[in-house]
């Protein structure tokens, strides 16, 4: 289930999604492969902002746990969007009357 993180501080928070707690828990690796090394991904949460659509595995990252226990971050589960019905067919736009505004210099 997707999770949203709300930053309650007046400073931006950068969370490094290290491979062991995040990728292994979520089952999806978000690290970049540089040669034989794994470079972890990071997410920035703006001051007093919210970052949504994250995997619930983000709650296993040590920095998120420590900031959440201190009350500086708030974790919220997001509702999955219901299957959206097909959009209704849109009416065709009315035909243009052919009236054009004259361009500069064509007057």
> What's the pLDDT tens digit per position in 41-51?
999 999 999 99
| Closest among 64, 75, 85 to 14, alpha carbons compared | 64
Token pair, residue 51, equals: 């970052």
**pLDDT for 50-75, tens place per residue?**
999 888 899 889 999 999 999 999 99
Q: How far apart are CA 18 and CA 62, in angstroms?
A: 9
pLDDT recorded at residue 107 = 60
Residues 6+ apart with CB under 8 A from 84: none
**Mean pLDDT of all residues in the chain?**
82
pLDDT at site 79 = 76
Encoded tokens for 21:
């707690």
Residue that is written with structure tokens 């971050």 in the block = 73
């Amino acid at each position: 289930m997707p999770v949203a993180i709300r930053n309650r501080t007046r400073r931006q928070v950068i969370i490094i999604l290290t491979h062991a707690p995040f990728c292994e828990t979520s089952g999806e690796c978000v690290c970049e492969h540089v040669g034989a090394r794994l470079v972890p991904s990071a997410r920035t949460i703006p001051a007093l902002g919210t970052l949504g659509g994250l995997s619930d595995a983000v709650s296993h990252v040590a920095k998120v746990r420590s900031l959440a226990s201190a009350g500086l971050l708030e974790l919220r589960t997001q509702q999955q969007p219901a299957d959206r019905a097909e959009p209704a067919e849109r009416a065709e736009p009315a035909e243009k009357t052919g009236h054009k505004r004259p361009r500069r210099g064509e007057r």
